[in-house]
Amino acid sequence: MNSPLIQAHIYLHLLLLWGAITFSNAQTIQLLDRQTLEPIIGLTYQYADQSGISDDSGKITLRFQAGESIHFSHVLYGKWTLKASELESAIGVGRILRMEQSYHLQPITIISLKQTDEKDQRIKISDQERLHHDAGAILNQNPVVNGIRKSGAFAFDPVMRGFKYEQLNVVIDGLQSAIAACPNRMDPPTSQIALNRIKQVEILKGPHALRYGIGLGGTINFVQEDPNFSFPNGVYGRYSTMYESNGNIWRHEGRVGVSGENHDIGVMGSWSTGTDYVDGEGNVVPANFRRGTVGMYGDFKVGRRDLVQVTVNRNFARDVDFPSLAMDLRSDDTWMASLRHTRTYQQRNLLSWTSSIYLTKVDHLMDNLLRDLNPRMNNARVPAFTQNYGGRTEGLWKLGNGRMYAGADYRSESAQGIREREFLMGPMAGRVVLDNAWQDSQIQKLGTFVNYNLPLGAYMLSVSGRLDVNHAVARDVEPEFEQANGATQVTQLNPGISMGLKKDLTEELNLSVWLARVQRSGSLTERFINYFPVGMDPYELVGNAALKPETNNQLDFVVGYRKEKIQVEFNAFAAYLTDYITAERTELTPRIASAPGVRQFINIDRALKTGLELSLSQYLGWGVQQEFAFAYTYGQNLSISEALPEIAPLDIRYALIGNHLDNKLHSALRLRHVTAQNRVSVLFGEMATPGFTLVDVDASYAITSQLALKIGAQNLLNQAYYEHLNRPIGPDRRPLFAPGRNFFVMLSLKFP
């Protein structure tokens, strides 16, 4: 008769036991802002059958379930996913750090240098990318970015949406930059960036990233790694090496560091060499190069709120072939140093304050002494030197539900370089002529900026503004330059404003519209180059100190769709440019008799650049994911109804990526198709280029947790092709063909 009571008693004990087990399995994780360590409040999460919202301390409580991923969403921090293994690691440390995703609001297409789980996650550089000796080359792994190439081995100068050179703002950590010492840009800014400690690249399309300066067409921001503080103290490092068959290329990269609770100090280096390669038709293309980097870094935590970071790099290149130019690079030595201080604040409107200073020096020498010239009319050499220095200070405030960045920066860039021509034949034999290419020119920029992001229900509003004072001067002016220019010193004001509105239409679908009006003053080349062939043909170019700032009035439209297994992003843009900077032929007499003439930089009234971009990533199952992307840009000189020069054709990419054997085996099959480019500028003698199709394959295997092997083949079908933006070779304008079939093998070692 007591059996019902006994059963109830047993059920009660089982219920209490289950509750105790469930409670004991419950795990608490705190979500914090990576920069300020402030709690992320109001974040929603979905984890199997569990869901919830982070509390006022940024904490969530959940029961760990093996094999399940967790999905997060927050209006300021975006949407992201952690795999089961990543969540388990986060539970171990008790917290998750997340950077505010203000960049997600902007019309961007992330260049996927390494496969990531989230479409809008910043790019993480893999070991293979760190091995590359030129940061510009890795940007071309997505159709959004192309490159101007004058050498098959070095100096890939990025072009994005038809914008190039100083129309793009290339920076490290939002500030540090370098300018090419070579008038022909054998050493563009991207070639000076050491990838050893770069963790990610932010590709910000359009003139909207005004925090980092004026990028008329976009900003490329190389972000350095976070400090690797640890307790107890430890030693860490890595070493990678790779061999490529076509060109007999060897690459090496390594790093060793010591870390503790309040310090992270290390040294790093890289070395690459290569010889001539063979194109798809079996022809040899000059491509010798030697390239190295050595550097050190130190991150120091001073108290609870202060972080001091210092980085010093020395990059050097030797004997690099440039078949598209009249000379080769003989030496290029670059010093890059930066110092940064960040202080975080808690429980006040001011969240953090960051100040940085930097210095960059480039010492460059090019000559024609390695060329087999018959007859050799003259020996020519150009020693050139550029220097950049500057500083930046910026605060981050929490204003209601919004975030505001505000600050100021200063940048100085200067260049010196004189061409030396020794005549060996003819009536001037024995004479040496000096041509002052850079005229000891300098540009100084002083700017102030503000960026405010405010969530408004289902909307997100972003407003940015910037005002720059730009002062330019040539301090060693040649008489022939003064005859072509009325002024050699000018000061200009460059305002910029950008506004964007993003709306989440559903949980999966969002759209955003961006408007901007930004203007840019001419560069050192556009203002002060002195009778030097720096364009896409042998014409000499002369600067124009009286150039008006060119203005970009741009509209961007972005649609994004995201579900658990598929991500799609569509971009459309239109840029209406006034006072666009280009060059036109003049009656001036060239310095070298073989030059067909002289062009001078001028402003034209109107130009248009517009285009479409699409990216898709879909998980197919069985560890296989497919990716599809394309980019197309249309450029038109509206003043004379002709195509703008150097606009890349339609570029289409498709990839199948596999992940197997518990994440140990990775494989990829990549296809690239580029259409013919027949819209060319007759005014600049631009030539039409044929289309081509490429196939690449690769596979990597983690032998142990520290040792990995990767093999692959590029241009598997051995196609003979060349990019539209490649500069032609010699007076007969032969195309600069890309490498034919290339096999590679890479070995990576990490410790601990």
The reported pLDDT for the residue numbered 3 is 54
pLDDT digits (tens, 9 = 90+) for 588-645: 999 998 899 999 999 999 999 999 999 999 999 999 999 999 999 999 999 999 999 9
In order of 91, 219, 692, the CA distances from 487 in angstroms are: 65, 31, 47
The reported pLDDT for the residue numbered 20 is 42
Q: Is the pTM of this model over 0.85?
A: yes
CA 83 to chain CA centroid, Å, is: 27
Note whether 470 and 492 are within 8 A (CB).
yes
Contact partners, residue 71, CB within 8 Å, separation at least 6: 45, 46, 47, 79, 80, 81, 564
Q: Is the pLDDT of residue 6 over 70?
A: no
Q: Is the pLDDT of residue 149 over 50?
A: yes
pLDDT digits (tens, 9 = 90+) for 59-85: 898 888 887 889 888 767 877 888 887
* pLDDT average, residue stretch 328-352: 92
Q: 335: alpha, beta or left, given left = phi > 0 and alpha = psi -120 to 50?
A: beta
Task: Give 99's pLDDT tier (boundaries 50, 70, 90).
Answer: confident
Backbone angles phi, psi at 173, to 5 degrees: 50, 40
Higher pLDDT, 252 or 9: 252
CA 279 to chain CA centroid, Å, is: 28
| Helix/strand/coil percentages in the chain, nearest 5 | 10, 55, 35
DSSP state of 16: H
Percent of the chain past pLDDT 90, that is, above it, reads 68
The C-alpha atoms of residue 258 and residue 550 are separated, in whole angstroms, by 48
Q: Is the pLDDT of residue 294 over 70?
A: yes
The C-alpha atoms of residue 25 and residue 385 are separated, in whole angstroms, by 64
Q: Is the pLDDT of residue 457 over 70?
A: yes
Q: 504: alpha, beta or left, given left = phi > 0 and alpha = psi -120 to 50?
A: beta
Task: Give 15's pLDDT tier (boundaries 50, 70, 90).
Answer: very low
Task: Give 436's pLDDT tier (boundaries 50, 70, 90).
Answer: very high
How many residues are present in the chain? 752
The reported pLDDT for the residue numbered 752 is 86
Closest CA to 274 of 251, 247, 252, 293: 247
Percent of the chain past pLDDT 70, that is, above it, reads 92
Domains in the chain: ranges and CATH: 3-100 (2.60.40), 127-751 (2.40.170.20)
CA 255 to chain CA centroid, Å, is: 22
Q: Which residues, listed in sequence order, are joined to residue 673 by a DSSP beta bridge?
A: 652, 693
pLDDT digits (tens, 9 = 90+) for 655-674: 999 999 988 999 999 999 99
pLDDT digits (tens, 9 = 90+) for 337-347: 999 999 998 77
Q: Is the pLDDT of residue 230 over 90?
A: no
* pLDDT average, residue stretch 116-136: 57
* pLDDT average, residue stretch 514-518: 97
Q: Is the pLDDT of residue 128 over 80?
A: no
Q: Is the pLDDT of residue 256 over 50?
A: yes
The reported pLDDT for the residue numbered 36 is 66
In DSSP notation, 267-282 reads EEEEEEEE--EE-TTS
Closest CA to 596 of 608, 587, 607, 583: 587
Rg (alpha carbons) of the chain, rounded to whole number:
28
The C-alpha atoms of residue 192 and residue 169 are separated, in whole angstroms, by 14
Which tokens go with 663? 């994440």
Note whether 131 and 255 are within 8 A (CB).
no
